[in-house]
Chains A and B, each alone.
Chain A
């Protein structure tokens, strides 16, 4: 996995999701403050920030899993959005049955092809809970991508994966980007952000402090907190 920045190779397509000043407050604490962003087709946007900054919460707001207290959100219908969680939610089914649930439009050959692509063909009858963390994440991502969503959210999908599984995730995302998918992914890994990101969002205490092209972000972040985050490496 090379670490060079690849942003210039992927000019943004039409906007897929727009968020305008989203706010979310719980127990008198503003957790997300005036979050505005645009996710474009054919681009990977990486969302970075410290633990507790509100990254997962912002993802859930954008994905429509919880309503914001204020602000505007426009994006594709829920069925055209998919989300991959840090810890995949596994149904009490076989690997093949789980994939069929995630991507119900797949026929027998389609299921075989997806399982083969994920390297899970020989594990298709195994209960999902017997899969390793990497296998489970491959299954989750393969299921999400198989539905060809317009928009894909990923919440630290490679946080506990080894090199091979991380490589699979990153390669899959690059292919999805080439196919025109808009992708928003949370990551703490600076080198991964450099490898994948077209744009970078930096979130600090619920506020988006930086929203820039990846090369610009790494050259000169807008906020002090993002600069500190980069310098810590």
Chain B
């Protein structure tokens, strides 16, 4: 089957919006959206803390966070697999091969992205803001609140980077999720499976959906940026 035929079949599947396809799409968005949410909840304050506070070991912490950007997904997946497997310390939670395990894997992979990128943004902002915040005697909590608020336009990029990395992830989620049909099958693991089975049309259809989701998320980010700029926010 040529690539043209595959593309035509893929489009036909998308137009028909088959139930299985929808299930995979929605699970992908749920898993990656949840992982992104928690990565931002923990990563942005961590980035702000690294930018605003001077403490022993700060440089080592920054190097560690930056190094974790290069964490191989299969290694992260393997470690989480060992932790969640029946004989592992968290085996009693029975999370292995579940969407929750996949969320955890994606969270671990994108937390350093949220922390490292936001730290850089916050440090650049602090280079401007520091004299005023010091003069106004702002506490660390107040400083972090100001940085989060005023950096929101640039932080949209962090959100997009985290979500994009999460939804494109395959190595770790296939290890801890198992790619079980109707349970833990997401777009990337389904693409890998269908390609190995020779179902190139389905694999292409899934790939196109992945691209469309990425496009829609970026469009939403751009829309939010425009709305915030109209409300007075500025970069």
B-contacting residues of A (Cβ < 8 Å)?
63, 65, 78-79, 82-83, 85, 89-94, 96-97, 101-102, 125-130
5 cross-chain CB contacts under 8 A: A65-B131, A89-B129, A91-B129, A93-B234, A125-B232
Which segment of B107-115, B132-140, B174-182, B205-213 sits at the interface?
A: B132-140
Q: Which residues of B contact A125 (CB under 8 A)?
A: 232
Interface size for chain B: under 10, 10 to 19, 20 to 34, or 35 or more residues? 10 to 19
| Contact A85 B137, beta carbon cutoff 8 Å | no
Q: Which residues of B contact A83 (CB under 8 A)?
A: 131, 135
CA distance A83 to B137 in the complex (A): 11
Known A85-B131, A89-B128; contact A78-B232, beta-carbon cutoff 8 A: no
CA distance A41 to B93 in the complex (A): 67
A-contacting residues of B (Cβ < 8 Å)?
125, 128-129, 131-132, 134-137, 146, 150-151, 153, 229, 231-235
| Contact B234 A92, beta carbon cutoff 8 Å | yes
| Contact B135 A94, beta carbon cutoff 8 Å | no
Interchain CB contact (< 8 A) of A97 among B125, B153, B232: B232
Find the A residue at minimum CB distance from B151.
Answer: A92
Q: Which residues of B contact A94 (CB under 8 A)?
A: 231-232
Find the A residue at minimum CB distance from B234.
Answer: A127
Q: Name B's interface SS.
A: helix
B224 CB to closest chain A CB (Å) equals: 15
Q: Which residues of A contact B136 (CB under 8 A)?
A: 102
Q: Which residues of B contact A128 (CB under 8 A)?
A: 234
CA distance A83 to B234 in the complex (A): 24
Q: Which residues of B contact A89 (CB under 8 A)?
A: 128-129, 131-132
Q: Which residues of A contact B135 (CB under 8 A)?
A: 63, 65, 82-83
B90 CB to closest chain A CB (Å) equals: 42
| Contact A127 B233, beta carbon cutoff 8 Å | yes
| Contact B146 A127, beta carbon cutoff 8 Å | no
**What are the 8 closest A-B residue pairs judged by CB atoms, nearest first?**
A94-B232, A89-B132, A127-B234, A78-B137, A92-B150, A83-B135, A92-B234, A129-B234
A131 CB to closest chain B CB (Å) equals: 11
CA distance A126 to B128 in the complex (A): 19
CA distance A205 to B132 in the complex (A): 26
A200 CB to closest chain B CB (Å) equals: 24
Q: Which residues of B contact A65 (CB under 8 A)?
A: 131, 134-135
- Sample of 17 further A-B pairs with CB below 8 A, known A79-B137, A92-B125: A65-B134, A65-B135, A78-B137, A83-B135, A85-B132, A89-B131, A89-B132, A90-B128, A91-B132, A91-B146, A93-B234, A94-B231, A96-B232, A97-B232, A126-B232, A127-B229, A128-B234
Find the B residue at minimum CB distance from A94.
Answer: B232
Q: Which residues of B contact A78 (CB under 8 A)?
A: 137
Q: Which residues of A contact B233 (CB under 8 A)?
A: 92-93, 127
A137 CB to closest chain B CB (Å) equals: 13
A120 CB to closest chain B CB (Å) equals: 13
CA distance A102 to B129 in the complex (A): 13
Interchain CB contact (< 8 A) of A127 among B128, B129, B232: B232
